[in-house]
Amino acid sequence: MGQRLAGLRAWVVDICAASGIELASDWQCLPVSGDASFRRYFRLISGQQSWILMDAPPEKEASLPFVKIADSWYSQGIKVPQVIAADLSLGYMLLSDLGDEQYLQHLNDSSADDLYTRALDELLLIQKATDVAGFPLPEYDEALLQREMALFHDWFLQDLLGLTIKPGVEHL
């Protein structure tokens, strides 16, 4: 077990005790798929309850904007994980678990209208959300789009698959 995971597990025990969350003796911390960043996610399972643990190394990830925006959006009724506890100096967070079911599992001719309506309603809430003072979301312009598109190259092709693509090469 890595040093950060060991630290996260110790933090979980302390933070749950301080928050009044009783952990079962056989609680588990299982990896959950991540994203294109240095953050890692784990599902904390204790009995019939589960939470999400985020490990965001503070020297590589600035987590304060995440916490501020998540808290604001949660209070505005947007379906985002609730930040239950966070130690930004360590880069650890305990979040509510929204589950791992995806719409795709339930999408069919009879469910499509309802599922897409619910998704669009949520996007509308996000669009109407008030800005968080000091943490504005960036305008989604061409420069941001290009940075986001570069993640595919940097995180997927290079880091995950170990491929090197030469400039001007349009296909693998």
User: Could you tell me if residue 38 is inside a domain?
Assistant: yes
Residue 65 domain boundaries:
3-96
For residue range 12-38, list pLDDT tens digits in order: 999 999 988 888 989 999 999 766 678
State whether the Cα torsion 141-73-23-90 is positive or negative: positive
Query: What domain count does the chain have?
Result: 2
For residue range 101-110, list pLDDT tens digits in order: 888 899 999 9
User: Could you tell me if residue 61 is inside a domain?
Assistant: yes
As a whole number of angstroms, the distance between CA 105 and CA 118 comes to: 15
User: Could you tell me if residue 107 is inside a domain?
Assistant: no
Contacts of residues 44-47 at CB distance under 8 Å and 24 or more positions apart, as own/partner, are: 44/12, 44/94, 46/21, 46/22
User: At residue 34, what are phi and psi to the nearest 5 degrees?
Assistant: -100, -155
Mapping DSSP to helix (H, G, I), strand (E, B) and coil, where does residue 49 land?
strand
The pLDDT value recorded for residue 13 is: 93
Do residues 36 and 86 share a domain?
A: yes
Do residues 90 and 158 share a domain?
A: no
The pLDDT value recorded for residue 81 is: 96
Average pLDDT over the chain, rounded to an integer = 90
For residue range 114-161, list pLDDT tens digits in order: 999 999 999 999 999 988 989 988 888 999 899 888 888 888 888 888
Domain final residue pick, 38, 66, 96: 96
Domain final residue pick, 74, 96, 118: 96
Residue 51: exposure state from Cβ atoms within 10 A (0-12, 13-18, ≥19) = buried
Please report, for the domain that includes residue 19, its CATH number.
Answer: 3.30.200.20
Domain final residue pick, 63, 96, 129: 96
